[in-house]
Amino acid sequence: MNILIVPLIGIVGLAIWGLSKVAKVGNNIVTEIKAKIFSVNFSSIRIDVDVKVKNPSNSRATVKHPFVKISFKDKVIGSSEVIDKTYNIEPLSQFNLLTTQIPVQLFSLGPLAAELVKKAQDKKYPITLQITIQTSAVVLGANIPYTDTQDITI
């Protein structure tokens, strides 16, 4: 019976070490979001969103392509497409995703549309949007969800 205890202790220790690395990398993922108005027409506003994903940990991370959601005054006004792609981010490095253009259909906004168009056309009225990034980091086979919401003024 003592012969089984040593390998069991080793396996438990390895599992605890692995889980601590997973938690550390998942908690250290950082996103930086930038947005700007790309175009305005009679039916929609197109917003460019740039996402930078940073891995400040000492472990390699694999990150799923982020899903981007844009809100204005607590109402979701647009979102990106869901893309099934993963990116490897080396330790202590970052990855810039390609710019995502998100269309905002004005007809679906009701009374918010007029305010949004006015602010989009006149630069002296800033627009504050809430941009939410949802993704997951895959570390040592574990899938760790990650969500970040930032207020962006454009």
Per residue in 73-105, pLDDT (tens digit) is: 889 999 999 999 989 989 899 989 877 899 999
Label residue 74 left, alpha or beta by phi (over 0 means left) and psi (-120 to 50 means alpha): left
pLDDT above 90 (res 9): no
Query: Could you state, in order of their start, the residue ranges of all structural domains in the chain?
Result: 2-153
Q: Is the dihedral of CA 137, 130, 92, 27 positive or negative?
A: negative
- Residue 116 CB neighbour total at 10 angstroms: 21
- Quickly count helices (H) and strands (E) in the chain: 2, 10
E-strand ranges in 8-141 read: 30-40, 44-55, 61-64, 67-72, 75-79, 86-89, 93-96, 100-105, 128-139
Gap between the terminal Cα atoms of the chain: 67
pLDDT tens for 98-118 read: 778 999 998 888 888 888 888
Written out in words, the top-level CATH class of the domain with range 2-153 is: mainly beta
Partners of 66 in the β-ladder? none
Please state the pTM of the whole predicted model. Answer: 0.77
Give the confidence band of 69 by pLDDT, cuts at 50, 70, 90: very high
pLDDT score, position 25:
44
pLDDT score, position 2:
54
- CA dist 35 and 92 (Å) reads 25
Residue-averaged pLDDT of the chain? 81
pLDDT above 60 (res 26): no
Give the confidence band of 11 by pLDDT, cuts at 50, 70, 90: low
Q: By the 8 A CB rule, do 143 and 26 touch?
A: no
Task: Work out the burial of residue 67: count CB atoms within 10 Å of its CB; fewer than 13 is exposed, 13-18 middle, 19 or more buried.
Answer: middle
